[in-house]
Amino acid sequence: SQKIEQNSEALNIQEGKTATLTCNYTNYSPAYLQWYRQDPGRGPVFLLLIRENEKEKRKERLKVTFDTTLKQSLFHITASQPADSATYLCALSSGGYNKLIFGAGTRLAVHP
Amino acid sequence: SAVISQKPSRDICQRGTSLTIQCQVDSQVTMMFWYRQQPGQSLTLIATANQGSEATYESGFVIDKFPISRPNLTFSTLTVSNMSPEDSSIYLCSPKTLAGGGETQYFGPGTRLLVL
């Protein structure tokens, strides 16, 4: 069956370090993958999209990699700040209309 | 990115009643996705709505419980019918435009529903 896995445990890191979040998937062949940030009580906010033919995408302090052989995406936040504390969701395109299917999310806590 | 608004932002309802959630987008979009997010959970797709055609529902969701309207390219509604406490959730609309390689999907602010 299709499955998307993100680290269920919260990730705690020190301010200034690089946070790395993992998204693994099975039985999918997504055309693209997206990462979102979600704060409590709010809708997800789009961060980055990476297509199946792209290895890496960057935006300011964010970097996403996409390995279709390993069926894995890594999401990096460099020089992390307490304001980066949130839940980060990965979502894969699936099926007709490329609807997005979401992972459970990983909660990131950046400590001063 | 599109500006997306949802009404109401939150509501408390009695079991057995129905609530209609509105989603307005400031530009024309091809498709509207409706998701729900139960407490502590991730987003689950309820249905996909194209203008002028019946909505397509995901496994576990049916039209009688979650009827959707899509009268034009900027507006959609989702009704949660005959509510029970298990329907307590955040409901989110997510518009998508296919033109111009527009894969990016944005989300509305959500409607927080509590059913007593």
C-alpha torsion sign, points A97, A43, A34, A29: negative
Q: How far apart are CA A78 and CA A13, in angstroms?
A: 11
B101: pLDDT strictly greater than 60? no
Interface of B with A (CB under 8 A): 1, 31, 33, 41-45, 48, 90, 92, 94, 96, 103-110, 112
Question: Which of B5, B10, B43, B44 should be substituted to probe chain A, the one whose Cβ sees the most A Cβ atoms within 10 Å?
Answer: B43
Tokens 């309820």 identify what position? B46
A1: pLDDT strictly greater than 80? no
Going by pLDDT thresholds of 50, 70 and 90, the confidence category of residue B99 is: low
Going by pLDDT thresholds of 50, 70 and 90, the confidence category of residue B105 is: confident
Determine which of A18-32, A52-66, A89-103, B65-79 has the lowest per-residue pLDDT on average.
Answer: A89-103
Mean pLDDT over residues A79-100, rounded? 90
A89: pLDDT strictly greater than 70? yes
List A3's β-bridge partners, or say none.
A26
What are B19-61's pLDDT values in tens digits?
Answer: 999 999 998 888 899 999 998 888 999 999 987 778 999 999 9
What is the pLDDT at residue B64? 97
What is the pLDDT at residue A64? 97
Q: Read off φ and ψ for residue A84, nearest 5 degrees.
A: -80, -5
Q: Read off φ and ψ for residue B87, nearest 5 degrees.
A: -85, -5
Q: Please indicate whether, in this complex, the C-beta atoms of A46 and B43 are within 8 angstroms of each other.
A: no
- Other residues' Cβ atoms within 10 Å of the Cβ of residue B97: 19
B100: pLDDT strictly greater than 60? no
Mean pLDDT over residues A82-99, rounded? 88
Going by pLDDT thresholds of 50, 70 and 90, the confidence category of residue A29 is: confident
Chain B residue numbers touching A104 (CB-CB < 8 A)? 41-42
CA–chain centroid gap for A45, Å, is 12
